[in-house]
Structure 1
Amino acid sequence: MDFIKVSSACPKTRVGDVDYNISNILDCINNANKNSSKFIVFPELCVTSYTCGDLFLQDYLLNKSLNGIHEILRATEDKDILIAVGAPLLIDSILYNCAFLLFKGDILGIVPKSYIPNYSEFYEKRWFTEGISIETYEINLPFQKNIPFGTNLIFSSNIANFGVEICEDLWVTIPPSSYLSLMGANIIGNLSASNELVSKMNYRKSLILNQSARGICSYIYSSAGVHESSTDLLFSGHLLISENGSLLKENERFQRENEVIYSYIDVFKLRAERMKNLSFRDASKFTGKKPYTINFKFKTTSIEKFDRFIDKHPFVPSSKKEREERCKEIFNIQSSALAKRFEHTGSKKAVIGISGGLDSTLALLVIVKTFELLHLDKKNIVAITMPGFGTTDRTYNNALTLCKELNCDLREINIVDAALQHFKDIGHDKDIHDVTYENVQARERTQILMDLANKEHGLLIGTGDLSELALGWCTYNGDHMSMYSVNPSIPKTLVRYLVKYVADKESNDTVSNTLIDILDTPVSPELLPKDSNGEITQKTEDIVGPYELHDFFLYHFIKHGSSKERIFFLATEAFKGNYSNAEIEKCLDKFMWRFFTQQFKRSALPDGPKVGSISLSPRGDFRMPSDAAPWK
């Protein structure tokens, strides 16, 4: 599935004690290897320790450092893990601060630090020379010949491409990792020694997350720890693993023992994001740099004890605070977009069909907010409730209460007689409850709404959401059609939170209680007759499957172009304990069939705003032939 486990490590060190340091480095490598990690990043100059000062000018320390690298090589010949470890290296009387990339007993390449800080508390130019201008050439060491040396090295494996930079390189205007990313590296390691100052941690973290987003890469950061010299500075051993702007793992700083953190990286997702981001592709043409690629191969990249968190509800933020901020932002987007349409058309009235269900409720709330924004009288919101064969007292009464409390122009038009007449006109038996029976009602309602919008010189506002569009769960030229739609890029799982947000934050008690009851009502088009107790008989999720599964499938299918096999794997991990594999597979089969066969409905969508990262608009994000074969 193109996941790879990586790690960031901070070993205990003694300043200038290479033997001690190597022992702890090997301890971290062994732990990472036992945990199936394939890439481990260590701090800057950890073989010697970072704070050696003028000891870096001593031949003894430099020779001990090289011997330490050789010792790591001998000890890891049988380990299927790429190691990035920091050490000084003297080449032709010039000393470099380097990252050594080691794999199965060989040095794959050596990367010098591009930028050498020499300001504030840093005086590295006293010892080291910058490597920014070094194009790759080969060097010889006593125990290995022809080792690639340079700042443009890409280490290409059978699953991912790796690159490294060192500490200060991240803090400059254009970090070397930007070029490495554009040259193909999708996992970047940073070997660092960043001291602690008040609030520096937050800035450092923001740099790392932003760089991983800018490079559409994973960024693995490892900084020197508390056992460095504290003569003037204190280091904390800060470890972070990020991916495309998201923090996957972070340690608790100031630890005093060897520490290794782990995370699975989704290489497939990174490649998919880069493939879609044409600006990233275009930028790669202008780097002025050519990569030097070093190929190697992991023996195995199979997933063991997969423990990466897979969000069951990728459209919905997990924290309450973030959800509320997201909901407020979405309402602003929806209402501002609708306001523009009213200003452009000169319309003063909105027409909407109100069923007492979630989607029409959300659309009505957006219209109310828009009218407040434009200082329009809410009596110009013409809300039509149209009871039919399946309308229950619960949804009917909720619709009435909501519209009255919001001061709308509430009207009722019963469609039963019109539907019965239409059955007679087309020769359909009213007792045959098939798709014709259902769609006659949906189209009758849309006809009423369209004609009333003309009569009132208003705009008919559509209510359908993203999940329904993905599944084609709408009647073509029925509820599928409107003059402007406000929910087309909001999935069902998020619709609930938007309605809940209004209930909690922007409603009086009566409206709030009504919204809560709407949230508790089963999702249904109410097109089939109610039961003997007057309850809903047609429950959408009993027919098509749980919306939380469909939204999950949709997110990974559209966002990352995931295969059916990959979506199934992710879903079984995310919904473990909620649904059986058989239930997930059945629902996924239904999603794929409906998504492909119902594209013709999406090809004829009315206008509507994009509010999130996924839209199925044929004019915007998603263009698909209506007759593509469903994937199996």
Structure 2
Amino acid sequence: MRLLKVATCNLNQWAMDFDCNLKHIKDSITRAKEVGAVIRLGPELEITGYGCEDHFLELDTVNHAWECLKEILLGDWTDGILCSIGMPIIRGSERYNCQVLCFNRKIVMIRPKMWLANDGNYRELRWFTTWKQKDQLVEFQLPPEISEALSQTSVPFGYGYIQFLDTAVAAEICEELFTPNPPHTELALNGVEVFLNASGSHHQLRKLDLRLRAFIGATHTRGGVYMYSNHQGCDGARLYYDGCSCVVVNGEVVAQGSQFSLKDVEVVVAQVDLDAVASLRGSISSFQEQASCKTKVSSVAVPYNICKPFNLKMLLSSPQKIMYHSPEEEIAFGPGCWLWDYLRRSGASGFLLPLSGGADSSSVAAIVGCMCQLVVKEIANGDEQVKADAIRIGNYADGKFPTDSKEFAKRIFYTVYMGSENSSEATKTRAKVLADEIGSWHLDVCIDGVVSSLLSLFQTVTGKRPRYKVDGGSNVENLGLQNIQARIRMVLAFMLASLLPWVHNKKGFYLVLGSSNVDEALRGYLTKYDCSAADINPIGSISKQDLRTFLRWAANHLGYSSLAEIEAAPPTAELEPIRSNYSQLDEVDMGMTYEELSVYGRLRKIFRCGPVSMFKNLCYKWGATLTPSEVADKVKHFFKYYSINRHKMTVLTPSYHAESYSPEDNRFDLRQFLYNARWPYQFRKMDELVQEMNGDRVAFKETGEDGGTAAGGGGMGVVAAASGNPKAGF
């Protein structure tokens, strides 16, 4: 038997914080060595943090990475252990995303990434180039200060593997695993038995299974030990990197780290038998045949044995059941951990949430409550870093620290019900009950006086006073009156967040939390600069349907039983007067259901459908219950309001990314925000298709109601920056 102990890790790195990142790297190496591991794998670009973005274009970023690597190599960190460390490197005039393989205080090899992630949330080709010289390893001249310190002038650079006396090890970096022809296929035929995948992979609902299936598939028919390391935490932006570092042997998971955690460093260790890899490969005839005519891959020889001989005291890691979280748990723990990182790193003293008693803001409140529960639990488990952060943020003194989540929430979480004459007693009560269950410092504020003052000012300036539609007013008046309430709540939220700590003799400021969901953003069903305009939004990329499921789960599993009643209530903005014969409902206002919005969103983004192809797809999907003419009407209605309100996405609050059809403009969904909202060519094509199918030509009424007026005289249907749709809840 050739026994090999390996260690991979989840690291909570922070873009551009080199002290923090270096400390975590050293800590992970120390822990790996303490358990006897001879290979340590860290995540992609771990020295700099993955999310540096345009900072990668600065020479300082690369230079500081070299300085940190030098500090590691000058100590005893790499003595007797192969360490794969991620950092950017400049060679000539090219910048590469690299894994630096170090052993016994020397750089053994530098492996540049060959296939870069460049879609969705990723823009690696903006900062790095791909390594294209697959047929050779070249010599890379180390920077002078590194060369002098290490007494090493050059190092092999490129695509290849490390050949020890008793096994072969190679890197396969993140995106490369998911390419049509991944490197591990060729490397396995060249005798590589251990694969090191350093990754920067973000959390997305229901995504983990895809990742794990890739690791399992990589070694199921080829054999091998596949090590995976990932970031875990908020690296500084909208993404939460969800860890789950693991070790897979011959298609079976033998070690798996946590997916969501408040820990800064988590080391995952496995002990494997490399003879099991050789045995599997030797038993597959096709593998033998293909290996005999393989394309040769360059290697670097390291005359050292890293395996241990057979020893009864060294137990092998056994296959284990993969740990998956339910989508409801993902919504609780992912945004909860992301909020904690954001809070402790931003210098803020807590959060303030406008809590309407509706599903969206209540979901955000529950996630903050979950965060408080996680903090108390980790402190009880002995995490000193979480404890120190909680003491600082919660302003504890005299050796005290959080032991109760509700008590901690009272210190760091304000909730505010901002009611008006249009608000109901039911939502006011629900908000108060939920705040008590979570433990937040809750305020009940009436905004009618401020609304009245603004309307009086408007009347003084114009001589007119707007009325609601139910009182005989026009659509323009009705929309304007709703938006006034929504924007007042935003102004009040930021005022309270900045001044309430001062009132309570607390240091610092509070972060305002937003609570608009992904479907409302897609439809534009929110007022520009209302309470959708916050500091951060933990649910901005989560669908209404998923949130409602989460509320039912949280009522039982987080101990906030009032959430069941909140989930059962019909969504309403409560921005219009309540009458015996009229009640404002979100889905009526939008002209579509939340379920339909999810379908539109997935077709538009994930399946890249324009109006015509969406119409064709929905004719198949909804054809049993709707005529082609009805389907066309629905598609036109969606695209009209999507395009009218697209400009709102340019100022959307930075949101936790959790859903692949997010319309978030700044990073993920790159489309223009000025559209011809009538879509004349596309809608005409749909009309022709309807006519072909049943002879019923569809007429689509062009109006500018509920989203702003369409510009006259054949102009573009856009909304002035001062207009918008009312939002469900505050």
TM-score, normalised relative to structure 2: 0.41
* Bigger Rg, structure 1 or 2: 1
TM-score, normalised relative to structure 1: 0.47
